[in-house]
Amino acid sequence: MRKADPDIAATPTVQVIERMFTLMDILASREEPMSLKEISEKASLHPSTAHRILNDLTIGRFVDRPQPGSYRLGMRLLELGNLVKGRLNVRDAALPPMRELHKLIQQPVNLSMRQGDEIVYVERAFSERSGMQVVRAIGGRAPLHLTSVGKLFLAADDPQRIRAYATRTGLNGHTKNSITDLGVLEKELSRVRQYGTAHDNEELELGVRCMASGIYDDQNKLVAGLSISAPAGRLDEGWLAKLQDTTHAISTTLGCKSSKPN
């Protein structure tokens, strides 16, 4: 029978998380792999407790085990770090041009990125004078097929991925204008590819329309989208050229070399 570990019994979740961070900090202090004995001593933990936590971190690829009994930080941390860095770079590059665009049109300008089957709003340029009452909060999410930026990302997917998205989500709608039929969505995405821009015609929220243009990185990959939101009767198609100029400038800052990214 396995002997109970006194350090593990009734350990609060927060304490376990704190121990995980402690172990990762210890591994970060050394370039070469460390032994379980050394790690547990530095963390002041029972070896079996340290082993159990390190094993969980190894499963998640946050920690690597190059040899039995030795550990080092894993590649998953590098992947997450690059992801965060990429998003911060996009935000930093986008914010000044977003503010300039907002000054020109006096309507909210939103920076959004894809996360799975949703769009996440990561930045916004707006003012109280814009008269826009319905504004998605930074950190808010919305389904891809109901948003202008989301349609940009779906249009960049191949047909099989689009059908898989439709199956997973059921293409649920939020308003009477929402696209809930795969055939209609495919036609909409075809227009998005043709013109390189996308619209939301009161599909997410009644009374609100949006137009969007994509932001591309140094590999000409779509990494974000910029959208203009306005009350349905005030969205001016003349803003579209200004929006495209803005996203082109941001894409150029990110290293995109194509005048018309794919």
Q: What's the pLDDT tens digit per position in 95-149?
A: 999 999 999 999 999 999 999 999 999 999 887 554 444 445 678 899 999 999 9
Indicate the average pLDDT of the chain: 88
pLDDT in the model for residue 137? 65
DSSP class of 75 = H
Predicted TM-score (pTM) of this structure: 0.67
Q: How far apart are CA 140 and CA 137, in angstroms?
A: 5
DSSP class of 133 = -
pLDDT in the model for residue 134? 45
pLDDT in the model for residue 166? 96
- Written as one letter, the residue type at 192 is V
pLDDT in the model for residue 128? 59
Asked whether residue 254 carries a pLDDT value surpassing 80, the answer given is: yes
Q: How far apart are CA 9 and CA 31, in angstroms?
A: 32
Per residue in 165-183, pLDDT tens?
A: 999 999 999 999 999 999 9
Interacting residues of 62 by C-beta distance below 8 A, sequence separation 6+: 24, 73, 74, 76, 77
The CATH 1.10.10.10 domain(s) of the chain lie at 13-73
Q: How far apart are CA 104 and CA 54, in angstroms?
A: 54
The CATH 3.30.450.40 domain(s) of the chain lie at 82-253
Instruction: Among 2-6, 203-207, 222-226, 241-245, name the one with the lowest average pLDDT.
Output: 2-6
Per residue in 220-240, pLDDT tens?
A: 999 999 999 999 988 999 999
CB atoms within 10 A of CB 36: 17
Q: Which CATH superfamily does the domain covering 82-253 fall into?
A: GAF domain (3.30.450.40)
Asked whether residue 193 carries a pLDDT value surpassing 70, the answer given is: yes
Percent of the chain with pLDDT over 90: 70
Asked whether residue 253 carries a pLDDT value surpassing 60, the answer given is: yes
Confidence of residue 4 (pLDDT cuts 50, 70, 90): very low
pLDDT in the model for residue 126? 80
The angle, 0 to 180 degrees and rounded to 10, between the axes of the packed helices 75-105 and 239-253 is: 150
Pick the CATH number of 13-73 from 3.40.50.620, 1.20.59.20, 1.10.10.10, 3.40.50.300: 1.10.10.10
- Say if residues 208 and 230 touch (Cβ distance below 8 Å): yes
More confident residue, 234 or 7: 234
CB atoms within 10 A of CB 35: 12
